Amino acid sequence: MSRQTRREFLKSASLATMAAGASSLLPGCAELGRIMRQKTEKPNIIFILADDLGYGDIGCYGQKTIRTSNIDRMADEGMRFTDHYAGSTVCAPSRCCLMTGLHTGHAFIRGNDRIPLRPSDVTVAELLKQAGYTTGLIGKWGLGEPETTGIPNRQGFDYFFGYLNQRHAHNYYPSYLWRNEKQVPLKNEVRDVNPPGGVATKRVEYSHDLFSTEAMEFVEKNKNTPFFLYLAYTIPHANNEARQEGMEVPSLEPYADTDWPAPQKGHAAMITRMDRDIGKLLARLRELGIDKNTLVIFTSDNGPHSEGGGNPAFFNSSGPLRGQKRDLYEGGIRVPMIARWPGKIKAGSTSGHVSAFWDVLPSLCEIAGLESPDGIDGISYAPTLLGREDRQKKHEYLYWEFHEQGKKQAIRIGDWKGIRLNVTQDPDGPIELYNLRDDIGEKNNVAAEHPEITAKIAEYMKTAWTRSENWPLR
C-alpha cells in the first residue's frame, strides 16, 4: 500500500473499526488491542526531545558533574537504552526520521535545509490523531516553513507552539514564536544577525520556560482524553549567532560560583534547568492521577555540539564514544533514551536492544493499538518496553547518510559498524570497520582483518538508499 493510499485509508477508517481489528493486526498483543478498544485506557504519550545533548551528558549514562536527578530518576523508574540512535547527526533529518519512520536513505528530508514535508508524508502525529489522540507539538519543529505543506498543523498536530525555523530556534530570547499558524509577539528585543537568527538586546522571556509552561497546560487541558505530546526542547543547542556567548540561560545556577569558563557554566545550567522542568512535568502527571497511564520517553536528536562556546570534552559529553555532532561515529548518533511507564515498564531495567528514531513511529503505533504504515524502515520496540524480549524483532542493519563535509555513510550490523567518509570524492572508497562490542570508542579500524564484513557493509551502502533530487549521494 502506497503512503498516499495509506493516508486516504486512515482518513476514511473509523476508530471503532481500527480498534476492533487491533488484536488481529498485532499478533500476540491482545492487551494492546484491549487498550485500543477501551478509549479511557489508551495510554497518553509524551515524547521529550533534547537538542544536541550528548550520550554522556546525563548522570545515568556516566555524567559526574552536571546534575540531572529527575532524568536519572526516570531511568530508576523505567528503562534505559544503551544502544539507541538518532535519525541523523544534525537536526532536520533526525526529526524527519522520528516523525516518518524512515531512515536517511529513504526519508524526504535528509539534510538541514528549508525543504518542507509533503502532503503525502505520513507522520506519527497523524496516525495517532486518527486513533483518537489529541496531538500537540511544543518546541522546535524544523520540517516546514510558514504557509508550507510541512507546518505541524498540516502534519497531524492539533496544537503547535514554538519555532518553525531551525535558525530562528538558535535564539532563546526571540521576538516572537508561533502558535499554530500565527505569530505570537514576545517581550524580547532582537538584533538580526543571520535572519531569522538573531541575538537578543533585551531579554525578558526565555523560550524554554515558555515551552515548559505550555507543556503543563497541554497536559492539564487534555488529562481526560488520550493525548500525544511531542515536547521538543532546544536545550542545550547553542545560539550560533551569539558566537562564544551562545549558551544562553537566564541563570548560571547552580554552577555560577565554579571556576569553569562561562560557556560551560551555561551548558550545565541549561541541562539542569531542563531536568528541573522534566521533574515538574512528571510530578504533575502524578498529581493529575494519570501517571500510570502515561508513557514518557526522553532522548536527544544527535550528539553534543562545539558551537557557541560549547566544548564537549569539558564534561565528557560523548561519554565513551568517539565524535560529536556532524560525525557518523557513535558520538554523533548514539544518544541516551529512557522510557518510563509505571506498571508497564520494569523499573530500573536496562536494554541493549539496537534501535533508532525510525522505530518510534511503529513503536507508538503498537502502543496505541494501531497498524503501522507499509514501506517504513522502523521496527517497533514496544515488546522490549513491555518485557517481551522473546517477541522483539531486530534490524538486519541500521543506515545513515550525512550530506555535509564531503558526504558520509554509516552502517551498523549487529556489533559491527562501518563508516565511509568523503563519498563525494570517492563513492566506493575505503570503509572503516569497528567492533562495537569490544571497541565502543571506535579506536581500532579492523577492516583489513574482516574483508567479508567490510564487503557486506559496502553492499548495503549501495542498496540502502534511494535517489533524492534535493540530497544526491553519488
In a domain, 285, yes or no: yes
Residue with cell 570508542: 441
Same domain for 403 and 267: no
pLDDT in tens, 4-61: 544 554 444 433 333 333 333 344 444 444 444 444 479 999 999 999 999 999 999 9
Same domain for 375 and 402: no
Q: How far is CA 311 from CA 3, 237, 253, 314, 405, in A?
A: 42, 12, 19, 6, 20
Give the CATH number, domain containing residue 421: 3.30.1120.10
Same domain for 90 and 202: yes
pLDDT in tens, 341-399: 999 999 999 999 999 999 999 999 999 999 999 999 999 999 999 999 999 999 999 99
Write down the pLDDT at residue 350. 98
In a domain, 474, yes or no: no
pLDDT above 60 for 123 = yes
Same domain for 143 and 205: yes
DSSP one-letter code for 424: T
In a domain, 269, yes or no: yes
Name the phi and psi angles at 178, rounded to 5: -105, 135
In a domain, 341, yes or no: yes
Q: What total of structural domains would you count in the chain? A: 2
In a domain, 414, yes or no: yes
Same domain for 432 and 366: no
Interval 178-189 mean pLDDT: 98
Higher pLDDT, 305 or 17: 305
Please tell me the total number of residues recorded for the chain in this structure: 474
Same domain for 307 and 184: yes
- pLDDT, mean over the chain: 93
Write down the pLDDT at residue 41. 78
Interval 125-133 mean pLDDT: 97
Instruction: Give residue 276's domain range.
Output: 3-391
Same domain for 431 and 320: no
Among 359, 391, 423, the domain boundary falls at 391
Higher pLDDT, 27 or 433: 433
Same domain for 447 and 375: no
Proportion of the chain above pLDDT 70, given as a percent: 92
Interval 222-243 mean pLDDT: 98
Same domain for 414 and 351: no
pLDDT in tens, 396-428: 999 999 999 999 999 999 999 999 999 999 999
Q: How far is CA 81 from CA 347, 384, 432, in A?
A: 13, 10, 25
In a domain, 472, yes or no: no
Write down the pLDDT at residue 38. 43
In a domain, 416, yes or no: yes
Proportion of the chain above pLDDT 90, given as a percent: 91
Give the CATH number, domain containing residue 97: 3.40.720.10
Interval 248-264 mean pLDDT: 98
pLDDT band at 184 (very low <50, low <70, confident <90, very high): very high
Amino acid, res. 10: L
Among 340, 358, 391, the domain boundary falls at 391
Write down the pLDDT at residue 305. 98
pLDDT in tens, 447-464: 999 999 999 999 999 999
Same domain for 115 and 90: yes
User: How large is the angle between the packed helices 262-287 and 207-221, nearest 10 degrees?
Assistant: 10
Same domain for 424 and 315: no
Same domain for 431 and 368: no
Among 391, 420, 435, the domain boundary falls at 391
In a domain, 473, yes or no: no
Name the phi and psi angles at 274, rounded to 5: -60, -45
State the pTM of this model: 0.93
| Cα–Cα distance measured from residue 400 to residue 130, given in angstroms and rounded to the nearest whole number | 30
